[in-house]
Chain A
Amino acid sequence: MSASLEKGINALKQVIDAPIASYFSSCVHCGLCADACLFYTETGDPKYTPIHKLEPLRRVYEQEYTLLGRLKKVVGLSKPVTDDELDQWQELVYDSCTMCGRCSMVCPVGNDIVYMVRKFREGMAASGHVPDGIKGATKRTVEIGGPMGLKWPAVANVIRKAEEATGFAIPVDKEGADYLVLLSSMEIVNFPEYLEALAKIFNKAGISFTLASDAFEATNAGIQIGNSDIAKVIVSRIVDAAEKLKVKNVLSPECGHAYMAIRWEGPNLIGRPFTFNVVHVLELLDNLRQKGVLKMKGTFKDPLILHDPCQIVRRGGVLNAPEPLIRQVAENYIPIVDKQKWNWCCGGGGGASAIHTDEAEALRAKVFGIKKRQIEEAGVKTVVTFCANCRIVMEEAIDHYEMDTQLLGLTELLAEHLED
């Protein structure tokens, strides 16, 4: 029970660097970032303007790291950031920001706003201003093993069921495998077909793989809260297991933030480069497709659109794998206008989907309007995506709007149509 404003400000002082200084010095209040943020476009409320979500961070930067800012603080022209303000900003930084990164793409002076939001969260976490929902997920991940409180026996159960369904062995704790497979709790609980799909594909391709009994969880709520210390604890489990099992690659599942956590933040959290590669499952699948290993025995006929999860595509860099894969398995894939790195967020990333207050849920439903319009304009009843969180969030919204739309996972879809 020791979060405090002082700790929060200290955390902010630590994370402020030249990019952040450059960004705050360049902002000309043009407001174009708001045009890219679904929380603004769907509500019309200017408080959701992305750069505004960072106002306390800007003040800390100015007052601590600029000469004029320090003088202003001394003479009282600039007020120090208060605990109250951070409290007010909690809604802006967590409920209405999914760290989707669209704002960083459009800022004319080049500000990387999502970079700053991630760092701002370090201060929010250290000062105790984190939504309960995400706190809960983090607690469960640290103490039990995953955000939903899943323990290994439950996972082992799912593995056994998958082995039975597919007829293939799914190794656990095997040394020297090509791939260490990670799973997200969401998949284990809601979409166990994903593991079955993996088993089929790996066997077809002749790739050796394993799971780790002490590091099966891919998601990292520490990243979502924005606390690097906790995120490090969580990611270290995977690194330790991968190094202990001497695997060549770690396979990141269809979960957005999991990929960001292990592929991009991981080495920086533990302070050294990895000794293994990190591969997203779609990268692996596209690789296999290019080698001609992924042969389809039929195709999916219904017209569909692709939803590109923010953390995998725009923020993760897996730009080119998804489309060829969907084209491989679907006859009627309709590319939408804002696709790939320009895609609109599902509204539930960054930990937002874990916030279960009435206001947060109402907001998420409202901002789904943009995806709803994309689906309606394309005139389709099927949306394919490759992030379990996006799937859940969108399924909830589709329910809310009583839409007749089905959500499918890409890996699952591929596996279903895979030639035996």
Chain B
Amino acid sequence: MNELQFLTWVRGPGLDIAVGIFLLGVVWRLFEIYTLGRKKDLAAPRHAAGASGLHTVFRRSIPPPGGVKRSPVSYIGGYTFHIGLAIVVFGFAPHILLVKNLTGLSWPGLPSQFVDLAAVITMAAMVVVLVDRINKPVKRFLSTFGDWFAWAVTFLPVLTGWLAVQHLLLPYTTMLALHILSVEILLIVLPFTKLFHAFTLFGSRWYNGKVNGQRGVPV
């Protein structure tokens, strides 16, 4: 198989399989988690302004008082790479084209040099949080194979995409094919690893906010 056939495969059957497994996995896991249900709280609620599940979904994105000072890398590094990923994934014109092709939705893209900068900053931030995970006792203690694996499958798409655009390391056709393949791997594993937090964090924050909101405590 030559590199153009490889590229055509990852753009064709490869993508079909990856998106298929992704959708299958997401729907399955959402059912698996949320159909466990929750017993109704029979205590008389206390109503407080700003205390609800929905409030917490948004408010929890703000670091707690003193948090950034105690763990700056976790917060700053974490925000940087998440926002950077969003800029690269949703702001780069070829990606928007893909979404348009799949869903019909589209929006204006960002200038390529800006996306390029965002990609570099994202990779730098990811390396920093990786080093921090190795150095900090709590993170090192908690980390399992799943954490390193999740880091790698998230890092590789950014790296390969950037290398492709920059025409570095391997010829463009191969680099682009590897990029698309790395995204397909990410899609396939996402529902079955900690990366699924992308979907469940909304439910988690909502439950937390609801239980505490019932008691009148905005969290």
Residues of A bordering B, CB below 8 Å: 16-23, 25-32, 34-36, 40, 44, 46-47, 49, 51-52, 65-68, 104-112, 115, 263-268, 271-274, 277-278, 314-317, 319, 337-338, 341-342
Contact = CB atoms under 8 A, between A and B. Distances in A.
Contacts of B32: 21, 65-67
B142 A49 contact: yes
A278 B38 CA distance: 24
A106 B64 contact: yes
Interface string B23-40: 000001100111111110
Contacts, number: 173
22 contacts: A17-B39, A18-B38, A18-B203, A18-B207, A19-B38, A19-B208, A22-B207, A26-B203, A27-B194, A28-B194, A29-B143, A30-B78, A30-B139, A31-B136, A34-B138, A36-B64, A67-B28, A104-B212, A112-B208, A268-B42, A278-B44, A314-B217
Could you tell me the dominant secondary structure of chain B's interface residues? helix
Given A31-B142, A342-B64, A25 B197 contact: yes
B141 A47 contact: yes
Contact of A32 (B29, B74, B196, B209): B74
A277 B44 contact: yes
Q: Max chain A CB contacts within 10 Å: which of B138, B143, B147?
A: B138
A292 to B, nearest CB: 24
A46 B143 CA distance: 12
B139 to A, nearest CB: 5
A30 B67 CA distance: 13
B206 interface: yes
Contact of A29 (B60, B147, B201): B147
A337 B67 CA distance: 13
Contacts of B143: 29
B47 to A, nearest CB: 10
A271 B39 CA distance: 10
Contacts of B205: 109-110
B29 A25 contact: yes
A45 to B, nearest CB: 8
Contacts of A278: 44
Interface string B167-208: 000000000000000000000000010101100110111111
A17 B38 contact: yes
A208 to B, nearest CB: 22
B211 A317 contact: no
B219 interface: yes
A21 B33 contact: yes
Contacts of B139: 29-31
Nearest to B57: A110
A248 B46 CA distance: 17
B37 A18 contact: yes
Nearest to B194: A28
A32 B48 CA distance: 27
A317 B216 contact: yes
A109 B41 contact: no
A348 B205 CA distance: 28
A68 B193 CA distance: 11
A28 B57 CA distance: 17
B65 interface: yes
A112 B64 contact: no
B43 interface: yes
Nearest to A48: B138
